[in-house]
Amino acid sequence: MNLEDIINKQKSNTELSRRDAIKLMGISPIAASVLASTTTSSIAQACADVSGKVIIVGGGSGALMALSRIKRAIKNPDITIIAPNEIHLYQPGQVFIGAGVMEMEDIILNNNNYIDQDEVTWVKDEVEVFDADNNTVTTRAGEKLPYDYLVVATGAQYNYEDIEGLTKEDIGKNGITSVYLSDLEKGTSVGATATWEWNKALKKAAITSKQKVIFTHPNTKVKCGGAPQKVLHLTADYLKQDGLSAEYSFITSTKTLFPLPHVTKALEKVQASYDTITSKFQHHLQAIDVQNKKATFLHAYSEEIYDEEFGETEVVSHEDIVVMDYDFIHITPPMSAITALMNSKLVDFTGWLEVDKHTLQHKRYSNVFGIGDTCGIPMGKTGGSARHQGPIVTENLISVMKNEKAKAIFDGYTVCPIKTAYGQILMAEFNYKGDAPTIPFLSISEPRAFWWYFDLYQLKPMYQYLMLTGRF
C-alpha cells in the first residue's frame, strides 16, 4: 500500500487499520500531514439521521477521538464539549522527556485544531457536578447544561496527597520525581522535565557512590501501567551507558511484573540485564519522610496455612510495615476518577465510571457512555485503548439514539510500549482474551528496536493527524 492508496481510502471515508497507518508513517512522517490536509473536506458526511443533545466531557485524547467520530456519524449533530484546556499534551512523550530524548515543546498540541467551534459548542470549563438522574452537568462557573446523551472522557486524577508527607510541590526536590506530574488544564508537564533533571543528578551522584534508587507502583489502577517500569529501565540504562550503576528497587503493589506470564518472564530477563534491580511485590507506598529520605510501605499479602488439627487449609492475611532508605525515588501516584465524577452516581464501588466492559455503555444510565482512562473496566487505561474504544462508543451511541440496543463490542485491547533500554521497546499488545499483536508474527514479549523508532518518531504524527481526528 502506497501513500496514494491510503489517501484514496480516506477520500472514501474508509478508516485506516493500524497496519496501514504504520505503512503510512514508514513512507514519511510528513505523509500524515499530507493526509490531513487533503482529506478533511472530502470525507463523506455521515450518515445517521438522529437527534438529541450530546455532551462530551473532557479535553484529552479520548474526548477528541469521540468528538471527531460522533460529529461525522450524525447528519446534523448537536454536540457540546466541555473542556478547559486549549493546550493538548501528547502524554506518551512524557517518558521520552524524562529520558532526555524529547523536549517539552515536542508534546504541545492545540485543541483548537480538533474542536471546530463552527460545528460544535465548546464550553471552556470543567464539570463540577454530574447529575445523571436529571440529565444535567454543572460547570465550575455554575452553568447548568442539560443533555440527552453524555460521553464521559475525564481521564484519571493523580492523588499525590494520598501519600502521607508528600505534596505535588515536593516533585523535583530532595531526590523525588514523578514523570506523571502534569497540569492538563495549563498544559504543563513538570514531572517529565523534573525526571530528566533527576536522572542527570543521579548519574552525577553515582560517580562517587552507589545510590539507593526506588521506583514505586501504587495499589490503584494506573494510567499507562507500564510507565513505572519504563522509567526504571531507562534510568538503569542511562547510568549503564557510562559504566555506572545503582541499587535499584522496584516496589510494586502488584503480585507480578505484568498480567501476562510470558511478558513477566521477559521483563525479569530485562531486569537481570542491569545491575542489582530488586523487585518487591504487594508493597504500597503509604508515607514518605521527604527530609530524611525514608519511604514507608504497607506489605499486604496472604498465605495458605494448613491446620493439621482440623485437616483444613485457610488463607491468612498479613500486613507488615516496611521502611526503606533511599537517595532517589520515582513515585507513581495513586490514581482515581476525577473528584466530580466520584461524587456522582455514575461511579461503581471502585470509584471509576460504571460502564459495561464490552459496550462502554453505563450499566444504570443507558444514555451515558465512557471512553478512556475514566472507565471502570479491567483494561484500557492507555491511548491505544481509547483509539479502539472510539468506534465502539460512536456506534453504540448512534444505536441508542435510534432506540436500538448497543451491539458493538470492545475487545479490551490495550498496549504497553515498555521501554527496556534506549533503542528498545517491548510492545505488549493484548485484550481480554490474551495476546493481540498488530503484526501477528511478532511476539509481544520480545524487545525490538523497530518499536522504539516507531514510538519515538512515528507515533506522534499518527496520533496528531489520524487518531485525534478519528481517521484511525
**Catalytic positions, please?**
224, 416
Residues contacting residue 29 through CB under 8 Å, at least 6 positions apart: 457, 458, 461
190 torsion bin: left (phi>0), alpha (psi -120 to 50), beta (else): alpha
Distance CA 355, CA 451 (A): 32
Helix residue ranges per DSSP H, 277-322? none
Q: Which three cell numbers stand for residue 214?
A: 526506588
∠ CA 246-249-253, nearest 5°, is 165
Distance between first and last Cα of the chain: 16
Q: Which three cell numbers stand for residue 181?
A: 506530574
Distance CA 52, CA 136 (A): 14
| DSSP designation for 168 | G
Distance CA 172, CA 82 (A): 32
Distance CA 198, CA 330 (A): 9
Burial per residue of 145-176, b for 16 or more beta-carbon CB atoms within 10 angstroms, e otherwise = bebebbbbbbbbbbebeebeebeeebbbeebb
- 158 pairs with which residues across the strands? 335
Q: Which three cell numbers stand for residue 115?
A: 474542536
Distance CA 186, CA 316 (A): 47
Classified as helix, coil or strand, 294 is strand
